[in-house]
Amino acid sequence: MTMDKIADLKRMQWHSRRGMLELDLLLVPFSQEKLPALNDDDVRLYKKLLEQEDQDLFSWLIDKETVDDAELKKMVAMVLGRAP
């Protein structure tokens, strides 16, 4: 793994800390445990997920509202698949 990729993963791990406990409990462990093993396309999707508003993320991850974007829907399923 290159230094740039390591730095990028660390940035995404940092941005996974949203300051909302419910989101942090899902995103931080996912970013620490699963993110390093994702392929480049899925890393791109995770970045896209992190660019979304906290209220949208909360609705998708906690309230189980449906995500309209097919790519984001895949990443939400991956994050939730890690959840207990």
Say if residues 34 and 82 touch (Cβ distance below 8 Å): yes
- State the alpha helices, DSSP H only, in the chain: 3-15, 21-33, 40-50, 54-61, 70-82
Confidence (pTM):
0.90
Asked whether the predicted pLDDT for residue 83 surpasses 80, the reply is no
Please give the C-alpha separations between residue 82 and each of 7, 30, 77, 78, in angstroms, as whole numbers.
23, 7, 9, 7
Say if residues 75 and 57 touch (Cβ distance below 8 Å): no
What's the confidence (pLDDT) of residue 42?
Answer: 95
pLDDT digits (tens, 9 = 90+) for 29-79: 999 999 999 999 999 999 999 999 999 999 999 977 899 999 999 999 999
Q: Does domain 3-82 have CATH number 3.30.70.260?
A: no
What's the confidence (pLDDT) of residue 84?
Answer: 43
What's the confidence (pLDDT) of residue 3?
Answer: 93
pLDDT digits (tens, 9 = 90+) for 2-21: 899 899 999 999 999 999 99
For the chain, the structural domain boundaries read 3-82
